[in-house]
Structure 1
C-alpha cells in the first residue's frame, strides 16, 4: 500500500506539471471503452504525454486512474499482474502502462490481466517495432492498437495560431479542396508556417526550450540503440553499420537503392541490408516505396526519410525543397493509403491515383486521367491542382 501511494503521488505530480498546448486528435477516436488498448508510436512523437493527457482529460486527480512507467525499478521483482491486481483491489479502474517493452513477458501478463481482471482497463504504450496485436499470439484477439503519429501540419498550425481546424478524409480533401483551403486561408496564412513545420514541426519536442537538432539526433540514436538493437536483438558491435546505412540513406534520399552498392559501402551482406532497411522503416526513420505490394524480402523501388524533419538530421547545407515536399506528401498520405512507385508520376495512391509533387510552374500533365498535382506555394487550388500544405490536414491517426 505504501508503494502504491508513491505511484499515486508521482501520477499527480506529472498531471499537475503537464503542459498540453494542443490535444492530439487521436484522443477523440480511440474506443476508450475497450479493456485492453495499445498506443503504438515512434520514439519522440509524444506517447507519454498522450497517456497523461488522457488521464487528466477524462479523470483529473481521481485515484481510479493511474499512470505507471515500467522503467521503475520496482518492476524488477514485482510483476505487472501482481501490481494490477493490487491496484484494482484498492479501487483502481484504469491502469496506464508506459514503455511496456521495458518489461519482460509483457504480452503474456497483459493477456492474463485481460482474461482475469474484467473490472480493470489497461492502456499501454509501445514501439512500432513490437508486435502489439497482429501476429502476437497473446494479444491479437483482445488488444485494440492505435498508432500515434507525429504532429500533422494541421495540428502544428492549430498550435501556432490558436485555431481548431478539423482533419479531413482523403476523398473529401480531393473533392472539396478548394472550399476547405478557402476556409483555412480566411483565418490564417498557412504557407507562413509550412516551411517551419517541414524543419521542426513533426516531433512535439520542438516545444521544449532546447536545441531542436540535438533533440532530433538524440531521438534517432535512441531508436537505433534501443528500439531497433534491443527489440530486434542486434549485437551492439553491429550498431555502427546500422548507423552508417541510415546516414547514407539520409544523404541520398529519395533514391532508388542499389543493394549491392549499399552492401559494399556498409560492409555487410545484401540480406542484412534488406533487414536493416526494414528495421529502419519499422522504427519510423525511413519510408520504403515499392512498385507493388510491400514485401520485406523485395528491394524497394525508392527510399525516403520518414518525415521532413529527419532530412535535416544529416543535412550539411541547404536542403532541396523538392525533397522535403515529396517526403512530406509520402509521410502524410502513406500511413492510411497504399502509396506506390510510379514510373511517370511521383507517387501512385491506392493503385489508381497518380500524384505529381511540385511548384506552380511544372508542366500540367493533363493527358493523365485522374491525376492530381500537389502544388507548393499555392494557397487555394483548382480542379486537380491541390495545395501541398492541405495534405497536412489529412485524417491519419486511426486504428490499424
Structure 2
C-alpha cells in the first residue's frame, strides 16, 4: 500500500493540466460510483489526477490513485484492495483503466455493497457499456464521457485566455455579440487550422511527432478497446483495420456494405457490427436521418474528428469535408445530429437545420433563408449566418 501512496503523491504533484476541463464542473462528485469513459488519448488519467489535486491535499491518505496496469492486480482483485484501503481510513479510490481487471464490474459492485462510505471514480474505454441491464453496475453508476479538447479549450491553452463555453441557443441567438467579446483578445482563425490538424488530443503538447503518435493511438483503439473489451479473436483484427481504412478513404458517402463485406471477406451483418464497434471506440461517427438508428444502414459514416482525417489519409483531405467533420464533432457532445432531408444539410436536436459552407465563395446563399448557416473562412457572422469556429465553444 505504501508504494501506491508514493506513486500517487508523485503523480499528483507532477500533474500538468494547464487547461481545466469543462467536465470537471459537470460531474456530481457526491455520487459514490462515477465512471468516466473516453477514447484513448483524450486525457482520462490526467483528469483523475487533476481531480485529486483540486479536491484533496496530497498528504491526505483518504484519497488514492491506482492504475490497473500494475501487475499487482493480477493476483489481487479490486474489492480486496479497496477493502484494505477502506479499513485504513481511505474514502476515495481513483481507478484508472478499470477494464484491465477481468471481473471489473462484479468487483466494483462488491465495493459498492460492502463499503458504504467509499467513493470510487474509475476510467474506462468508450467501448464499455456501464448501464446495460445485464451489468452489475446498472442503477448505481453515474457515467460521463470525457472528450478531446474543444476548440475553446485548445484556444485557451495556446493563448492563455479563459474564454467560457456557450450553449447552442446562446450561439444561435447572440453570436454577433459573443464574437465581439472574443475578437479583441484573439484572432480565432489564426489557430483554427492547427486545431483541425492536431488540436483534439491533448498529447499534441508532447515533443513527439503528432501524426505518428495518433496512428499509434488509433491502433491501440482497435487492438485493445475493440478486440480486448469486445473479446474478439485476434485473427479478425486485420479485417477491422482494413474496414476502418476503407471507410476513411470513402469519405462522407453512404458506405456500400456489400462491397465492404466483399473487401474484408465477411458478411454484411459482421460489417455492420464492426462499424458499430469503430463508432463506440470514437474512431468514426455514424450519421442517420431523423427517426433511424443502428442497425439500419447509415447514409453517412465520417471520421470521429478532423485530426483522424489528417492522420489516416492526408492526401485526400478536402476542406469542405473537414469543416463538416468539425461541425459534427463539436455538436455531438450534447446534441443529437442527423442527416437533413436536403443534400448537405444537418438536423440538430430535431429542431435546427444547419448547413456548412465557405464564406469566401458565397456571400448570402439562398439556402440560408430557412436554415442556420455555419460559415468557415470568416471570423464574424450576422443574422442566421454564424462563424463555424464559434461552435467549438460549446464545451
Instruction: Please say whether Structure 1 and Structure 2 have the same fold, judged by a TM-score greater than 0.5.
Output: yes
CA contact (8 A) 1:358 1:374 kept: yes
Matched with 2:389 is 389
Q: Which sections of structure 2, spanning at least 5 residues, go unmatched?
A: none
Q: Which sections of structure 1, spanning at least 5 residues, go unmatched?
A: 396-400
Change (3 A) 1:391 1:134: farther
2:54 pairs, out of 57, 62, 79, with 57
SS in 2 for 1:281: helix
CA contact (8 A) 1:353 1:370 kept: no
CA contact (8 A) 2:284 2:302 kept: yes
Matched with 2:175 is 177
Matched with 1:27 is 24
- Deviations, residues 203-236 of structure 1 (Å, cap 9, x unaligned): 0000100010111001100010010011112111
SS in 2 for 1:216: helix
Change (3 A) 1:264 1:165: same
SS in 1 for 2:374: strand
Choose 99-108 or 291-300, whichever is displaced more. 291-300
- Tell me by how many angstroms 1:368 deviates: 6.1
Matched with 1:376 is 376
2:75 pairs, out of 74, 77, 83, with 77
CA contact (8 A) 2:249 2:316 kept: no
Choose 217-226 or 106-115, whichever is displaced more. 106-115
CA contact (8 A) 1:65 1:94 kept: yes
SS in 1 for 2:93: strand
CA contact (8 A) 1:126 1:132 kept: no
Matched with 1:246 is 244
SS in 2 for 1:138: coil
Matched with 1:116 is 114
- Deviations, residues 110-152 of structure 1 (Å, cap 9, x unaligned): 1121122111110000111111124353112111111100000
Matched with 2:217 is 219
- Deviations, residues 143-165 of structure 1 (Å, cap 9, x unaligned): 11111000000000000000111
Q: How does 1:67-146 map to 2 (within 5 A)?
A: 67-146=65-144
SS in 1 for 2:230: coil
Q: Distance in 1 between matches of 2:230 and 2:120?
A: 25
Matched with 1:355 is 354
Choose 311-320 or 25-34, whichever is displaced more. 311-320
Change (3 A) 1:180 1:135: farther
2:322 pairs, out of 304, 321, 324, with 324
RMSD: 1.4
SS in 2 for 1:43: coil
Number of aligned residue pairs: give it.
392
Does 1:192 find its partner at 2:190? Answer: yes
- Tell me by how many angstroms 1:20 deviates: 1.1
1:296 pairs, out of 286, 294, 297, with 294
CA contact (8 A) 2:215 2:312 kept: no
1:285 pairs, out of 264, 283, 286, with 283
Q: Distance in 2 between matches of 1:382 and 1:98?
A: 46
Q: Distance in 2 between matches of 1:122 and 1:65?
A: 10
- Tell me by how many angstroms 1:364 deviates: 3.9
- Tell me by how many angstroms 1:314 deviates: 2.0
CA contact (8 A) 2:127 2:225 kept: yes
Q: How does 1:223-238 map to 2 (within 5 A)?
A: 223-238=221-236
Change (3 A) 1:160 1:368: closer
Q: Distance in 2 between matches of 1:253 and 1:332?
A: 19
- Tell me by how many angstroms 1:318 deviates: 5.9
Matched with 2:8 is 11
CA contact (8 A) 2:197 2:310 kept: yes
Q: Distance in 2 between matches of 1:44 and 1:6?
A: 26
Does 1:47 find its partner at 2:44? Answer: yes
